[in-house]
Amino acid sequence: MKKLLFVLICVLALLIGTYPIIYVFVDHKNTFLNSKSSEVLGNIVWKSAFWGHISFGGLSLFIGWRQFGHKFRNKHWHLHRIIGKVYVLSVVISSIAGIYIGFYANGSAVSATGFIVLGLIWLMSTLTAVVQIRKGHILNHQRLMTYSFACAFAAVTLRLWYPLLVKITEDPSFSYLAVAWLCWVPNLIVANFINKKSSQNITSPKNG
């Protein structure tokens, strides 16, 4: 079951990781950009932040899943470090850009706050994870990176939750307000459960 869930997460991460490509080939009238006002779309800072957010966010999601798994880490330690550096750089760019465009989120202060807080947690958990690994605190680094990828995975869960909420509530506006929080809060709860489970496995005595 664990392997199946891991494979599912990897597949979803890879699929949504390539999502920004649709903005190159699909008419913007059929994308998220169609929901933004002409004033916002004419803001060069907002457009730069938007492209930075989805491009580097997609990259972090596309490569981030590969960092998990003891066998890969132990066998390809050098590659693990290279991917990690690219991931951290991608997160820094995408999260800061995300925090900025969060102030322009559709809806109200409820959705804006949800996305801004997500960006802040994503940025801080990732940078703190870097500090921890530099100090040699491997377990703390791994736990924080679990939280970091849980934030990155919000790009996936948002696209799963939103159509489901719209179908249930038949209210796109309310659904968007809810998904601004629902796309990442449960992710962090699951990440916390995984970290606690890992700690129990480390501290519990071996049988036999």
What is the pTM (predicted TM-score) of this model?
0.87
What's the pLDDT score for residue 202? 63
Residue 80's alpha-carbon distances to 147, 161, 205, in angstroms, are 18, 31, 29
What's the pLDDT score for residue 205? 47
What's the pLDDT score for residue 204? 53
Which residue ranges make up each domain of the chain? 42-199
The stretches in the chain having pLDDT less than 50 are: 205-208
Residue closest to 106 by CA, chosen among 162, 19, 35, 18:
35
Which H/E stretch holds residue 6?
helix 2-17
